[in-house]
A and B are shown apart, each in its own frame.
Chain A
Amino acid sequence: GAVVSQHPSWVICKSGTSVKIECRSLDFQATTMFWYRQFPKQSLMLMATSNEGSKATYEQGVEKDKFLINHASLTLSTLTVTSAHPEDSSFYICSARDRRVPINSPLHFGNGTRLTVT
């Protein structure tokens, strides 16, 4: 089946530093990838939609300068949390849409990244 690899699985960083999270589709090409954020005991909140070769579309309330998204190839999207603060601590999950299947098909999700900012 389609596999999405997300790296790292967890990361601890100090306030003020930047952290990059990678999302790779291993056995399929993804023209579109999505980044979600999940707070403890909360739902998945869509942060942005990332399209290969173009700028990401951010959801209302998500700071684009804070959460930099790059989708440089059909198999890789990155989320960089810039100047991280403790309130950025969360679980970040990416998902990818396989370009070979209909748009209404289920998305494939990565394993998520647990970010802790101290």
Chain B
Amino acid sequence: AQKVTQAQTEISVVEKEDVTLDCVYETRDTTYYLFWYKQPPSGELVFLIRRNSFDEQNEISGRYSWNFQKSTSSFNFTITASQVVDSAVYFCALSMTGGSYIPTFGRGTSLIVHP
């Protein structure tokens, strides 16, 4: 069975603070993909990143960075110098061969960035 846990329900920060969103996953497959999506108040899901299970290299994209660690089954997401526009719900998701690559989502972390 596959499972994604986002233990942080809600995080509140002040603009310019750094913030890390945690994601822990469970799967028995050796080949799998991890995703992060952003859901702003408007409701649509915006794709942010995909990592495959064979690539543990961390990735940085502007103010966003991701730390993938297979040893702890974690795929954490850090926003540096947060901005009000970063306020949204962020979902971590897992897909794998055994699940026909249909993503399983975590419960999401609501990030509120105050000016």
Report if A44-B91 is in contact (Cβ < 8 Å); known contacts: A34-B102, A104-B101, A111-B42: yes
- Point out which of A43, A49, A105 has the most chain B C-beta atoms below 10 A from its C-beta: A43
Task: Give the size category of B's interface with A.
Answer: 20 to 34
Q: Residue A110 contacts which of B44, B52, B108, B110 (CB distance < 8 angstroms)? A: B44
Pairwise interchain contact B95-A104, C-beta atoms closer than 8 A: yes
Within the complex, the shortest CB–CB distance from B59 to chain A, in Å, comes to 15
Question: Taking the complex as formed, is A107 at the interface, i.e. its CB lies under 8 A from any CB of chain B?
Answer: yes
Residues in A whose Cβ lies below 8 Å from that of B110: 41
How far is B110's CA from A49's CA once the two chains are assembled, in angstroms? 27
Question: Taking the complex as formed, is B64 at the interface, i.e. its CB lies under 8 A from any CB of chain A?
Answer: no
Within the complex, the shortest CB–CB distance from B10 to chain A, in Å, comes to 8
Q: Residue A46 contacts which of B33, B35, B102 (CB distance < 8 angstroms)? A: B102
Within the complex, the shortest CB–CB distance from B44 to chain A, in Å, comes to 4
The chain A residue sitting closest to B47, CB to CB, is A106
5 residue pairs bridging A and B, Cβ less than 8 Å apart = A34-B102, A42-B107, A91-B43, A109-B45, A114-B43
Other 13 A-B pairs with CB < 8 A, given A44-B91, A112-B44: A9-B43, A41-B9, A41-B108, A43-B108, A44-B105, A46-B104, A95-B45, A104-B101, A106-B35, A106-B47, A109-B37, A110-B44, A111-B42
